[in-house]
Structure 1
Amino acid sequence: MAKIFILMGVSSTGKTKVGIEMSRQLGIKLIDGDDLHPKTNIIKMEEGQPLNDTDRLPWLERIRDAAFSLETKNEVGIIICSALKKKYRDLIREGNQNIAFIFLHGEYSLVLERMRQRKGHYMKEQMLKSQFDTLEIPLSEEDDVTFVDISGEFEEIVKKCIEATKLQTDDTKAYKKVAVNGINSLNLAKKYI
């Protein structure tokens, strides 16, 4: 059965770069969720305004529909999407039986440093702060989420993400697998509180 992997996290965690490399190595389709934003959202972000739930709704529906399209074609794919809140992830899950999330996470200072190194992206510092404020760390009941720390080298991050795709296609629960490695959502949440 096809599996759709949502590569999630705040801006500047490397979702696009990691997604491109995963797609290349695994030979699977990649959809950049930024391409699915309505024009009004892009304009708002370019002006440095954070998106609210009303802004995000049509975008999340497009993400969900893209996942459903891949699933109905029996294709394996990666969709890049911040998926910051549980209700956003739940909306993406609606009607999609084979969704799994890979959560790229890192300390605010690391992500901010990476954001400052990016050229030509519409994300501004205050918007990154807003994303961290909005972020709801997935808890254990979201057993379709695998955590990948972004503090390592790029190749290691990609390797862990590819391992996460294998975890999520096993019958085991990914949350338990990453908890064995000492990372779980409760420990991670403490870092941001």
Structure 2
Amino acid sequence: MVKKQILFLMGVSGSGKSTIGKLLADKLQFPFFDGDSFHPEANVKKMKEGHPLNDDDRQGWLEKLNEVGIENLSTGAVIVCSSLKQKYRTILGKNLENNHQFVYLEGSFELIDSRLRERKNHYMPAGLLQSQFDDLETPLDALTVSIDQTPDDIVNDIIEKL
């Protein structure tokens, strides 16, 4: 039995955060929140135009996702957010004490690039993937799960590690 906590699924765009997050939330019976849906319109427009977000662009968005986590402490929640840098993870975990866990969906550039090229109707262009890998500060305190397996196997791996 997994304790009620806030689970942040993190990784670069195309690592499967939304797919895995929904499956994990269903299996744990936690509410699911896709961080992408909390971006202000200016951020979405910037990414659609092929420009990476900077730290100032992300600040309010990360604070909002932290609020979502705090609001769902009693039920637990799965929140999907790239969380590429340690300072972002610090903002996300603020006032959550020991009631949150980052789960890093790890995969190679080549694997994720091939997935992004197949994806339709997403505002994150495949060309921005390199900027995400450049920004990624591999977490030392997260559960790390390889995405080179089926979604169900990834979810089972996460639950086993929790």
TM over 0.5: yes
More helix by share: 1
- In the TM superposition, what is the alpha-carbon distance from 1:76 to its structure 2 partner? 1.1
Name the aligned partner's letter for residue 126 of structure 1. Answer: G
Q: Give the structure-1-normalised TM-score.
A: 0.79
Could you list the runs of 4 or more consecutive aligned residues of structure 1 that deviate by over 4 angstroms after TM superposition?
Answer: none
Q: Determine the C-alpha separation between the residues in 2 that align with 1:92 and 1:19.
A: 17
Match of 1:172 in 2: none
Match of 1:85 in 2: 85
Q: Determine the C-alpha separation between the residues in 1 that align with 2:93 and 2:27.
A: 26
Give ranges in structure 2 of 5+ residues lacking alignment.
Answer: none
Match of 1:149 in 2: 146
CA-to-partner distance for each residue in 1:41-65, whole Å, 9 max, x for gaps? 0111111110000101011001111
Name the aligned partner's letter for residue 80 of structure 2. Answer: I
Which aligned pairs between 1:1-193 and structure 2 lie closer than 5 A? 2-71=4-73, 74-97=74-97, 98-139=99-140, 142=141, 145-164=142-161, 167=162
Q: Determine the C-alpha separation between the residues in 2 that align with 1:154 and 1:96.
A: 28
Larger radius of gyration: 1
Q: Determine the C-alpha separation between the residues in 2 that align with 1:111 and 1:136.
A: 17
- In the TM superposition, what is the alpha-carbon distance from 1:126 to its structure 2 partner? 2.5
Q: Determine the C-alpha separation between the residues in 2 that align with 1:120 and 1:79.
A: 21
- In the TM superposition, what is the alpha-carbon distance from 1:89 to its structure 2 partner? 0.3
Bigger relative contact order, structure 1 or 2 (CA pairs below 8 A, ≥6 apart):
2
CA-to-partner distance for each residue in 1:124-166, whole Å, 9 max, x for gaps? 1231110000000012xx3xx10000011222112112223xx
Identity among equivalent pairs (%): 41
Per the alignment, in what secondary structure is the counterpart of residue 148 of structure 1?
strand
CA-to-partner distance for each residue in 1:53-83, whole Å, 9 max, x for gaps? 0101011001111101111xx1111000000
Alignment RMSD, CA only?
A: 1.1
- In the TM superposition, what is the alpha-carbon distance from 1:113 to its structure 2 partner? 0.5
Name the aligned partner's letter for residue 49 of structure 1. Answer: H
Per the alignment, in what secondary structure is the counterpart of residue 88 of structure 1?
helix
